[in-house]
Chain A
Amino acid sequence: MTTYVQTRPSREMRPFPVRAVAILLVLMAIGLVTAIVRYANGIGAISNLSDGRAWGLWISFDLYCGVALAAGGFTLAATVYIFRRKKYYPIVRGAILTAFLGYLMVIAALLVDLGQPWRIWHMIIYWNPHSPLFEVGWCVLLYTLVLALEFSPNVFERFNMQVPLRWIRAIQIPLVIAGIVLSTLHQSSLGSVLLMMPDKIHPLWFTPILPGLFFLSAIAVGPAMVIFESYLSSKAFGHRLDPEIPAGLGRALVWLLALYLLVKLADLLVAGEFGLIFSSALFSVLFLVEVLGGVVAPLILFALPAVRASERGLFWSAVLVVLGLILNRFNVSLLALEGRPGVSYFPHPLEFAISIAIVAAGVLAYVLATRYLPVLQHEAEQPA
């Protein structure tokens, strides 16, 4: 059986990052004050949202990008526990932590964005199975629970609670499968939400297979996020990762990005809309930057052995994938989605303050969790 080398320094050795945490707390405090103003005076008091642009930064960034960027959790869990590529075991816990925090961040953003967030539970009692958003809501709810359970061994191990630990391990595989099913639905359902507006989304992005494209791009960005964050956390916390792990993810990314690109372009060809890539003025620019910069370029880079042999090469190629995904989600849910006539929108500074505060809270939680819980340590447990 494979053995895992303990390379991480013990937690007592690392000084507490006082300055970084102080900055994060300040950002969170700004967001909190903003949120209080919002609850007292309405969403209009802190945002540039209007009847003409009812969804803005929070939906495009916190929901659309947030969910996609959390895809590392289920792709890695599938790789390790279902496809049993055990060499990725050391990073699966980090990926699940990121996904868990990502979903908590999505919920936090919804609590600001929803007009009456105290009614968020209404979707449990009032059903509309025709609504893609109903599917999204249920997926957020259930997958967050699954992620909490998938993450829980970190807590149980830390406090040496053997009984719940045994229970969780007993249902580990069903749990992982439930997570994969829910993620498949959830990633694609965010695309289904946009299917309701066939006439309002620019044809370069609108397609009946949008849910499929959302799913494919999510499983491509999952490994890229894992490369991205394991590079950062190894730099920040000084633990070393077997270089074969990110290199292997890079190799997988070549295929995932190629598949996504192929389907995306084939769809435009079949729809007879290929020419739009060059004839849509500003939309052409957005599309080309998204596809060339966020898909084609990293695809070529990851295919080069020299890039895969370099930590930084892998990191920057992964950054391209992540940025490309973010641009894609902004394009399809905001920039290429028509607002009401005569309405323009740019997020209010306080909208940014909310999004930044939520990211800050996520980073802080990540720092604390990796510091006090055995997330990055690869202890006794092996994939069942």
Chain B
Amino acid sequence: MAKAMLIDLTRCIGCRACQAACKQWNDLPAEQTRNNGSYENPPRRSAKTWTTVTFHEITQPPSEAGEEEGFAWVFAKRQCMHCEHPACASACIVGALHKTPDGPVLYDDKKCMGCRYCMIACPYGVPTFEWHKAVPYIRKCTMCADRIALGMEPACAKACPTDAIQFGEREALIVEGRKRIKASPAKYVDHIYGEKEAGGADMLYLSSVPFNELGFPELGEERLDRYAGLAMLAVPPAIVGVTALMAGTYWIIKRREQMMAQAAAEGPEAVESPEEEVA
């Protein structure tokens, strides 16, 4: 059964323990960052930082219960979504990325040639590249597949002090998410982000504000490789079709030329040769 994580943003307090635990477990070096006027740090994910917590200041309209217009923090822990039908894996020229039956989408250092198509294809902006290395690789969250294999939960889930990150079976977590939304409909938007997005993902989110306000992309339910997949299916028939068309055209025109040459040789009145025609 596929493993997944349910990330309940209403429980997140922005402590970034998950960010630190990820670095620790995966042996990722520190990053030099600058104060850019936000608590968010580092400002983006990179090959050295696979998960970050984004900080959002949300204005809340006055509530029906009489509360005044207010302002609230919402934090979002972001990382690879471990898609059910990963665009990165469909895109990769050498199949270096693949969805494992356990859930994690994993990357094979040995295959990658560094074309970076996966980075372009991923709808969530996840794969990152080692831009300043002579021998660079793609880096991204692995869902701690090595820990899962040992029967442990991912480092971030383990570290979270508020249980905002819950690790488990995907189906069970969806049921759990629905239950929480149903229990407090005022607290949550009625949307489990990741359940259906681009064909579904193993990272499932609950939130108190619409996801687009938190920088989550609005994706349809269909898988992203739907058009590219069709184009690839058209390749074999295209090979046969174009070959037949060209060979046939060549044969017909050549034959016509021969017949005309013959006619010209036999009859006294010359027949115009085809090359007089104009494209």
Q: Is the interface on chain B under 10, 10 to 19, 20 to 34, or 35 or more residues?
A: 35 or more
Residues in B108-158 with C-beta less than 8 Å from chain A:
111-117, 119-121, 123, 125, 127-137
Question: From B88, which residue of chain A is reached at the shortest CB distance?
Answer: A196
Q: Kindly list chain A residues whose C-beta atoms are within 8 Å of the C-beta of B175.
A: none
- Cross-chain contact of B228 among A132, A177, A185, A200 (Cβ < 8 A): A132
- Cross-chain contact of B91 among A49, A176, A196 (Cβ < 8 A): A196
Question: From B43, which residue of chain A is reached at the shortest CB distance?
Answer: A342
Q: Kindly list chain A residues whose C-beta atoms are within 8 Å of the C-beta of B114.
A: 114-117, 119
Question: From A44, which residue of chain B is reached at the shortest CB distance?
Answer: B131
Q: Kindly list chain A residues whose C-beta atoms are within 8 Å of the C-beta of B43.
A: 342
Given contacts A84-B275, A85-B277, contact A115 B232 (CB under 8 A): no
Number of interface residues of A (CB under 8 A): 74
* Segment of A51-59, A96-104, A163-171, A318-326 engaged in the interface with chain B: A51-59
- Cross-chain contact of A51 among B44, B226, B228 (Cβ < 8 A): B44
Given contacts A54-B120, A181-B246, A249-B279, contact A195 B113 (CB under 8 A): no
Q: Kindly list chain A residues whose C-beta atoms are within 8 Å of the C-beta of B96.
A: 126
A contact patch SS: helix
Cβ of A341 and Cβ of B257 under 8 Å apart?
A: no
Residues in B204-233 with C-beta less than 8 Å from chain A:
215, 217-220, 224-232
Q: Within 8 Å of chain B (Cβ to Cβ): is A328? A: no
Q: Kindly list chain A residues whose C-beta atoms are within 8 Å of the C-beta of B186.
A: none
Question: From A173, which residue of chain B is reached at the shortest CB distance?
Answer: B250
Q: Within 8 Å of chain B (Cβ to Cβ): is A33? A: no
Q: Kindly list chain A residues whose C-beta atoms are within 8 Å of the C-beta of B28.
A: none
- Cross-chain contact of B136 among A115, A131, A181, A252 (Cβ < 8 A): A115
- Cross-chain contact of B217 among A40, A87, A120, A199 (Cβ < 8 A): A199
Question: From B98, which residue of chain A is reached at the shortest CB distance?
Answer: A128
- Cross-chain contact of A198 among B227, B242, B275 (Cβ < 8 A): B227
Q: How far is the CA of A129 from the CA of B112 in the complex (A)?
A: 15
Q: Within 8 Å of chain A (Cβ to Cβ): is B45? A: yes
Q: Kindly list chain A residues whose C-beta atoms are within 8 Å of the C-beta of B230.
A: 208
- Cross-chain contact of B249 among A82, A123, A189, A191 (Cβ < 8 A): A82
* Segment of A16-24, A133-141, A143-151, A309-317 engaged in the interface with chain B: A133-141
Q: How far is the CA of A342 from the CA of B45 in the complex (A)?
A: 13
Question: From A134, which residue of chain B is reached at the shortest CB distance?
Answer: B93
**24 CB-based A-B contacts, threshold 8 Å:** A41-B132, A43-B129, A51-B119, A54-B120, A84-B250, A85-B279, A87-B278, A114-B113, A115-B136, A123-B93, A131-B92, A133-B93, A177-B246, A177-B247, A180-B246, A181-B243, A196-B90, A196-B121, A197-B120, A199-B217, A199-B224, A208-B230, A244-B278, A249-B279
Q: A126-B94, A130-B228, A133-B115 are in contact. List 14 more A-B contacts (CB 8 A).
A: A51-B47, A115-B115, A116-B112, A116-B114, A122-B94, A132-B232, A134-B93, A177-B250, A181-B242, A185-B235, A196-B121, A197-B123, A199-B123, A199-B224
